Amino acid sequence: MAVGLQRISMSANLLHRTIVSAMPLVPQPIVWRFSRRYIAGTHLEDAYETVRKLNAEGSTGTIDVLGEDSTREEQVEAALELYFAALDGIAADSLGTGISVKLSELGLRYDMARCEAATEALLTAAEKHGIFVRIDMEDSTTTDATLAIYGKSREKFDRVGVAIQSCLRRSEDDVRQLLDEGQTDVRLCKGIYIEPEEISYRDADDIRDSYNRILDMLLADDTARVGIATHDPLLVNYAVDALTRFGVDRDRYEVQMLLGVAGPLRRKLLAEGHDVRVYVPFGELWYHYSMRRLRENPHMVGHILKNLFASH
């Protein structure tokens, strides 16, 4: 039986790898077809429109300007300009949304000092409008630098938080340190990047156990705010129980989901009285983003196949 299951899993992995390596041959309009549900569109107005719809159903948003791994100053400036425009538009229209940002988009990989300055400029603009900024967490080569910039940022700004990945073995210690340093705001997710085995959990249950341990740590500290970012029904059920167990006030947490994923679960949680925020990525760089995510996490292929078949 175990050998049979292993064979099925090996063939599934082979299928995933084959599809992933064939993806660059797929015409962009077809890639767009499966990416479309996860991305608001290519323009800022598309992101606003998506947020308006989410607000109408009772959810809030977090708008992400697609882009990562900037290698030149012009790319950092272009990203900042789009973020500034997004902040102005959000404020002008009183939209119920924050923003999310990847620090590699602001130059983290090529110039740490530039990235710090760009982050400060973004946070200053967001603070002016009272808009919250979430710093996404990228692959493990960026974790130390991301946490360092988050640490400095929260000394100066109130409306800033960071993401933590439960798949990383270090994350419990990182969260302990964040809590020791004072009031913190964490989006807790499993982590999308495939990481080396020495530093990450691979088994789905180990990743869930780590998630639940970290969630407990965050909920037990009443100075912390937490974004429970998952679509996994097991984690959602655990979280709902834990919120009652710790007697967590509504202003200390929210559930967070990705655009286009788990709509029914999102609406159920809303109906039960939980605050829900949806990640709304948009931008011209959608193709790069979709392909990168696909390469990083072959499990996405399963979702894509499901979507393709479901749309017929």
> Which residues contribute to the site for ligand FDA (CB under 6 A)?
136-137, 163, 165, 187, 189-193, 229-232, 235, 256-258, 261-262, 279, 300, 303
Residue 14 or residue 204: which is nearer to ligand FDA going by CB? 204
CB of 296 to ligand FDA, least distance (A): 9
CB of 286 to ligand FDA, least distance (A): 14
CB of 3 to ligand FDA, least distance (A): 25
Distance (Å, rounded) from C-alpha 230 to C-alpha 261?
10
Question: How many Cβ atoms sit within 10 Å of the Cβ of residue 10?
Answer: 10
Residue type, 27: P
Burial class from Cβ neighbours inside 10 Å (0-12, 13-18, 19+) for residue 4 reads exposed
3-class state of residue 39 by DSSP: coil
Q: Give yes or no: 176 in active site.
A: no
Residue 134 or residue 224: which is nearer to ligand FDA going by CB? 134
13, 39, 144, 164 from 255: Cα distances, Å: 31, 19, 26, 15
Residue type, 48: Y
Distance (Å, rounded) from C-alpha 165 to C-alpha 187?
9
Distance (Å, rounded) from C-alpha 299 to C-alpha 304?
9
Catalytic residue among 134, 187, 208, 266: 187
CB of 77 to ligand FDA, least distance (A): 23
Catalytic residue among 136, 174, 185, 221: 136
Q: Give yes or no: 136 in active site.
A: yes
Q: Identify the residue whose tokens are 């900037």.
A: 70
Q: How far apart are the first and last CA of the chain?
A: 34
Residue 88 or residue 206: which is nearer to ligand FDA going by CB? 206
Residue 116 or residue 136: which is nearer to ligand FDA going by CB? 136
Question: Taking the CA of residue 142 as centre, how many other CA atoms within 13 Å lie in the half-sphere pointing to its CB?
Answer: 27
Q: Which residues contact 218 (CB under 8 A, 6 or more apart)?
A: 175, 179, 186, 188, 224, 226
CB of 38 to ligand FDA, least distance (A): 6
Residue 92 or residue 308: which is nearer to ligand FDA going by CB? 308
User: 301, 307, 291: which is closest to 17 by C-alpha?
Assistant: 301
Catalytically annotated residues:
136, 187
